[in-house]
């Protein structure tokens, strides 16, 4: 990756990692001994590939990333994958691209799971945090994916 795309991604990464919430997340991971969180600058370099490096979806061509999955969503095999940002969901809904089908559950006013159709593609069960900043989501999801990977998930309140 080079040029304008790399510059834009680096600017976004710099913006999000220069927030108080991200610094708290980094300090937590560093204190807990997360192997990539040795220094702040080294960790930022690691995060560039971790979030924006591409991988293959379902044995297809390389072209997806963790950022795409979580923050913008992706379509695969007729279903919506990822799409865990309320900001992206809200923008798509305001543009008339979301058809909400109902909710499964909510956790206080913090998070919820629900069903919807994004344009013509169905999301059987998805969810996100409510009203959080993208920098907060990025920080929390970084902690969760690095410190608490797997099906047990990350517990927070």
Is the pLDDT reported for residue 58 higher than 80?
A: no
Is the pLDDT reported for residue 124 higher than 80?
A: yes
d(CA 9, CA 42): 17
d(CA 126, CA 142): 19
Q: Which of these, 139, 116, 143, 138, lies nearest to 127 by C-alpha position?
A: 116
Q: What is the pLDDT of residue 76?
A: 80
Residue 57: which pLDDT band, with cuts at 50, 70 and 90?
low
Q: 23 or 58: which carries more pLDDT confidence?
A: 23
Residue 1: which pLDDT band, with cuts at 50, 70 and 90?
low
- pLDDT tens by residue, 18-52: 999 999 999 999 999 999 999 999 999 999 999 99
* Burial class (CB within 10 angstroms; exposed 0-12, middle 13-18, buried 19+) of 139: buried
**To the nearest whole number, what is the mean pLDDT of the chain?**
89
Q: Contact 94/53 with Cβ under 8 angstroms?
A: no
Active site residues: 69, 84, 123
């Amino acid at each position: 990756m080079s040029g304008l795309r790399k510059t834009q991604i680096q600017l976004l990464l710099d913006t999000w990692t220069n927030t108080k919430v991200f610094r708290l997340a980094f300090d937590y991971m560093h204190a807990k001994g997360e192997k990539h969180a040795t220094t702040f600058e080294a960790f930022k370099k690691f995060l560039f590939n971790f979030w924006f490096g591409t991988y293959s979806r379902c044995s297809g061509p390389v072209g997806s990333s963790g950022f795409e999955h979580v923050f913008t969503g992706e379509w695969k095999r007729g279903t919506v994958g990822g799409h865990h940002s309320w900001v992206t969901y809200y923008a798509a809904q305001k543009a008339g691209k979301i058809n909400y089908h109902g909710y499964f559950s909510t956790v206080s006013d913090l998070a919820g799971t629900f069903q919807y159709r994004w344009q013509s593609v169905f999301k059987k069960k998805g969810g996100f945090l409510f009203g959080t900043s993208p920098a907060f989501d990025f920080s929390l999801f970084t902690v969760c994916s690095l410190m608490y990977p797997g099906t047990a998930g990350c517990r927070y309140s």
